[in-house]
């Protein structure tokens, strides 16, 4: 059932919170059509106000002062951990580490766990659709430790070959790192099945949720992921803030990734001991304003309802998929919509038009899309292409903006005919 039938969003009301969407750009001053949400979403006024309120009212460092402003900032920052833990179903702040982004979260686990736990004979299993943040990180850690990186194949429809997964994940597997939703294909992976496979072989699993947490309800406890990461700037929050969920017992056993202030309990000239979770992994002055603002973004999304966010995205994805499929010379990558197989993005190529040229023509129409390999070069090699164009949708996008996308494609076809 489509979003318009079941749980319509008042998109016009939502758009009032995003003045940037009213901008007119270019020589013809066309209104911006923002379809690059898989890269970065826009930030609503309530979240911007949260940031400015911090700097105007209680800007101070956390955990380091007994004065009033520091106490206010510390409470707000700690409560932000609680709020993000609640947003994804974690037990509490002890399981929610604030990082710079999903990439840093991946590196934190790779260095703090991987360097200490992996060795020759161990295997790290990834998927062929991994973002470079996952693929490159574990590839390099495997090289340093003598472990081996293996990859689960992607089918011709752009989905994981689960029969192959059952062959690749075995007794030598120590870690599985898998993307929940592909940023290039839009594929929604059967993450619970991968978790079960990993745990059946006593392996851990790290889930890249950068494209999942912003677009659908996520419950890390129900999924039973060992680690799960996501980024604030893809879910209406500010840049420079991400979250790493980790099971408390695992985080407690791991050594810190960074050393410095606030992550210590006691320091002598001979040794140091570490602070409690999650502060053990948040060395130095942390992302205070960003963390507090990300909690406000979670409030904003929950105000809409994550089930409705998912339904709206899937509706727009279905409209775009159908409209693009009707154009001769357009090749779409990834599975068709329906049955929760595809999230709200569509990657494609137009015959005879390089993706970068298409993005440039789209820019002339004030339509913002992404063009390139989307930080998935090995996946693009697998698909036999060097680049693709990507349109991605969010809560403030409307069907008529897909019309602008189609118009730009048709103009590109005429220009390159």
User: Any idea which residues carry the catalytic annotation?
Assistant: 375
Tokens in use for 306?
Answer: 């994550």
User: Could you tell me if 185 and 158 are in contact, meaning their C-beta atoms sit under 8 angstroms apart?
Assistant: yes
Place of tokens 């995205």: 313
Going from the C-alpha of 315 to that of each of 129, 319, 343, the distances in angstroms are 24, 6, 9
* Cis preceding-peptide flag for 216 (omega within 30 of 0): no
Calculate the dihedral angle through the C-alpha atoms of 80, 86, 90, 93, rounding to the nearest 10 degrees.
30
Strand partners, 24: 31
**In whole angstroms, what is the distance from residue 192 CA to residue 360 CA?**
39
Q: DSSP character for 152? A: E
Backbone phi and psi for residue 296, each to the nearest 5 degrees, phi listed first: -65, -35
Taking the CA atoms of the chain, what radius of gyration do you get in angstroms? Answer: 22
Containing 266, the helix (H) or strand (E) segment is strand 264-267
Q: List the Cα angle 303/31/310 in 5-degree steps.
A: 30
In 3D, which of 103, 152, 150, 157 has the Cα closest to residue 128?
Answer: 152
Task: Give the span between the Cα atoms of 96 and 92, in whole angstroms.
Answer: 7
Answer yes or no: are the C-beta atoms of 274 and 265 closer than 8 Å.
Answer: yes
362-388 b/e with 16+ CB inside 10 Å = b?
beebbbbbbbbbbbbebbbeebeeebb
Q: DSSP assignment of 299-338, as one string?
A: HHHHHH-HHHHHHHHHHHHHHHHHHHHTSTTEEEESPPSS
| Residue 77 CB contacts under 8 Å (≥ 6 apart), including other chains | 62, 286, 288, 291, 292
Q: How far is CA 213 from CA 14, 61, 354, 376, in A?
A: 19, 29, 31, 20
């Amino acid at each position: 059932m489509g979003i318009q039938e079941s749980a319509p969003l008042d998109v016009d009301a939502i758009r009032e919170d995003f003045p940037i969407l009213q901008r007119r750009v270019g020589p013809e001053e066309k209104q911006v059509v923002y379809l690059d949400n898989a890269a970065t979403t826009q930030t609503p006024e309530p979240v911007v106000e949260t940031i400015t309120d911090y700097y105007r009212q209680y800007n101070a460092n956390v955990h380091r002062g007994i004065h009033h402003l520091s106490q206010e900032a510390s409470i707000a920052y700690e409560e932000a951990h609680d709020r993000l833990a609640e947003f994804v179903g974690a037990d509490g702040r002890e399981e929610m580490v604030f990082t710079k982004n999903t990439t840093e979260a991946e590196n934190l686990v790779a260095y703090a766990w991987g360097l200490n736990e992996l060795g020759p004979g161990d295997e790290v299993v990834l998927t062929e659709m991994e973002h470079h943040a996952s693929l490159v990180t574990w590839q390099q850690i495997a090289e340093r430790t003598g472990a081996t990186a293996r990859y689960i194949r992607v089918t011709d429809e752009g989905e994981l070959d689960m029969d192959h997964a059952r062959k690749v994940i075995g007794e030598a597997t120590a870690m599985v790192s898998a993307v929940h939703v592909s940023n290039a294909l839009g594929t929604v992976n059967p993450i619970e099945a991968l978790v079960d496979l990993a745990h059946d072989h006593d392996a851990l699993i790290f889930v890249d949720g950068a494209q999942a947490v912003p677009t659908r309800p996520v419950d890390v406890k129900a999924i039973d992921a060992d680690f799960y990461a996501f980024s604030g700037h893809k879910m209406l929050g500010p840049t420079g803030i991400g979250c790493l969920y980790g099971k408390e017992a695992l985080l407690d056993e791991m050594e810190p990734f960074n050393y410095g202030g606030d992550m210590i309990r006691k320091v002598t000239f001979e040794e140091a001991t570490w602070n409690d979770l999650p502060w053990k992994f948040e060395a130095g002055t942390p992302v205070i304003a960003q963390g507090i603002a990300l909690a406000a973004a979670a409030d904003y999304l929950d105000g809409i309802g994550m089930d409705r966010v998912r339904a709206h995205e899937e509706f727009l994805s279905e409209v775009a998929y159908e409209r693009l499929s009707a154009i001769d010379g357009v090749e779409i990558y990834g599975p068709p919509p329906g049955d929760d197989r595809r999230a709200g993005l569509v990657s494609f190529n137009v015959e005879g038009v390089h993706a970068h040229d298409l993005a440039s023509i789209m820019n002339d129409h004030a339509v913002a899309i992404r063009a390139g390999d989307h930080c998935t070069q090995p996946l693009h090699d697998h698909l036999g292409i060097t680049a693709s164009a990507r349109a991605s949708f969010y809560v403030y996008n409307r069907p008529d903006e897909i019309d602008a996308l189609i118009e730009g494609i048709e103009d590109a076809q005429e220009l390159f005919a």
